[in-house]
Amino acid sequence: MSPKRGDRVAPPPGPNEWDVIFGTGEAGKGWDELCAQAAANTRHA
Protein backbone atom coordinates (compact mmCIF):
# COMPACT_ATOMS: atom_id res chain seq x y z
CA MET A 1 0.00 0.00 0.00
CA SER A 2 1.41 3.37 -1.00
CA PRO A 3 1.64 6.10 1.60
CA LYS A 4 -0.98 8.82 1.39
CA ARG A 5 -1.13 12.46 2.35
CA GLY A 6 -0.74 12.79 6.11
CA ASP A 7 1.00 9.43 6.56
CA ARG A 8 4.31 9.36 8.44
CA VAL A 9 7.45 9.18 6.34
CA ALA A 10 9.53 6.10 7.24
CA PRO A 11 11.71 5.56 9.17
CA PRO A 12 10.25 6.84 12.45
CA PRO A 13 12.09 9.81 13.95
CA GLY A 14 14.87 9.30 16.43
CA PRO A 15 15.59 11.49 19.43
CA ASN A 16 15.74 15.19 18.53
CA GLU A 17 14.50 14.50 14.97
CA TRP A 18 11.46 15.83 13.15
CA ASP A 19 8.33 13.70 12.65
CA VAL A 20 7.88 14.08 8.88
CA ILE A 21 4.60 13.39 7.06
CA PHE A 22 3.78 13.29 3.36
CA GLY A 23 2.20 16.50 2.07
CA THR A 24 0.74 14.82 -1.02
CA GLY A 25 0.06 11.32 -2.28
CA GLU A 26 2.57 11.88 -5.09
CA ALA A 27 5.33 12.45 -2.53
CA GLY A 28 4.68 8.99 -1.11
CA LYS A 29 5.07 7.12 -4.39
CA GLY A 30 8.34 5.27 -4.52
CA TRP A 31 9.52 6.33 -1.04
CA ASP A 32 9.72 2.71 0.20
CA GLU A 33 11.82 1.74 -2.82
CA LEU A 34 14.13 4.70 -2.30
CA CYS A 35 14.59 3.76 1.35
CA ALA A 36 15.47 0.20 0.33
CA GLN A 37 18.13 1.42 -2.10
CA ALA A 38 19.65 4.23 -0.01
CA ALA A 39 18.53 3.75 3.59
CA ALA A 40 21.28 5.81 5.23
CA ASN A 41 20.84 8.70 2.82
CA THR A 42 17.06 8.84 3.11
CA ARG A 43 17.33 8.85 6.90
CA HIS A 44 19.87 11.68 6.69
CA ALA A 45 17.61 13.60 4.28
Q: Where are the beta strands (DSSP E) in 1-45?
A: none
Identify the pLDDT of residue 27. 81
Distance CA 26, CA 17 (A): 23
Identify the pLDDT of residue 4. 85
Distance CA 45, CA 21 (A): 13
**Structure confidence by residue, pLDDT tens digits, 1-45:** 678 888 888 777 888 888 889 888 888 887 877 878 887 887 776
